[in-house]
Amino acid sequence: MENPTRTADYIARITQRRNSLGDQIAHSIPSETPFVWEIGCGHGHFLAAYAAAHPSKICVGVDISKDRIDRGLRKRNRAKLDNLHFIQADARDFLDALPAEATFSAIYILFPDPWPKRRHHKNRIMQSEFLTAAAQRAGQGTRLHFRTDYEPYFRDSEQLISQHAAWQIVAEPWPFEQLTVFQSRAASHHSLIAQRRSEYT
């Protein structure tokens, strides 16, 4: 039977976590400027190089691992990159906690955890619900960049995106190359770019 005190505690904890994430986002991301969002940024190799090459773009890396975010923050501080931010969060919580007026202009998902077993596919970041939630916060023309070394995940994502109303796969060159930790360990990889459909509401 449900314990009302435990349920209330649980809801209070979730609300507190979401509010504190919302505060962190509000302090680091100017809400009037669409930002470049990297999901599962790891140690921040890609985004630090991207932010250095694009000083006018606000770049935000999100990862669930505190240790990886701390390493990213050290890179940011060493390179004095004011346009680069790293936030420890689950990507879905981050989306939920974004202020209403905040949008992004690009998404990068590089070598996400592949969760090879079928019963674990539900843990993959690439899900229809995630694509819908991301499209709702994506500005016009937003590109989603996806790269993996696990071919079955690539094929599943390709299929998922082609069946999704908000996104359309486009044949475009990869806009910015920077070796990540997982890319340096991979023998090969597959990449796709999808554009947010302008007619999607």
Ligand X SMILES: C[S@@+](CC[C@H](N)C(=O)[O-])C[C@H]1O[C@@H](n2cnc3c(N)ncnc32)[C@H](O)[C@@H]1O
- The torsion of the CA quartet 151, 156, 160, 163, rounded to 10 degrees, works out to 100
| Site residues (CB under 6 A) for ligand X, limited to 146-175 | none
131 to each of 12, 20, 77, 101, how far by Cα in Å?
A: 28, 25, 32, 19
Closer of 34 and 61 to ligand X (Cβ):
61
- Candidates 153, 182, 192, 194; binder of ligand X (CB under 6 A) is 182
Would residue 23 show up in a list of annotated catalytic residues for this protein?
no
Structure tokens at 103: 């949008």
**Contact between 55 and 79 (Cβ < 8 Å):** no
Count the Cβ atoms, other than its own, within 10 Å of residue 172. 12
24 binds ligand X (CB under 6 A): no
CB of 167 to ligand X, least distance (A): 19
Q: Give the binding range for ligand X (CB under 6 A) out of 27-35, 71-79, 134-142, 176-184.
A: 176-184
Residue with Cβ nearer ligand X (64 or 168): 64
Residue count, binding to ligand X (CB under 6 A): 20
CA distances from 51 to 56, 78, 96, 126, 200 (A): 8, 13, 24, 24, 29
**68 binds ligand X, rule: CB under 6 A:** yes
- Footprint on this chain of ligand X (rule: CB under 6 A): 39-42, 62-65, 68, 90-91, 110-113, 125, 180-183
Active site residues: 113
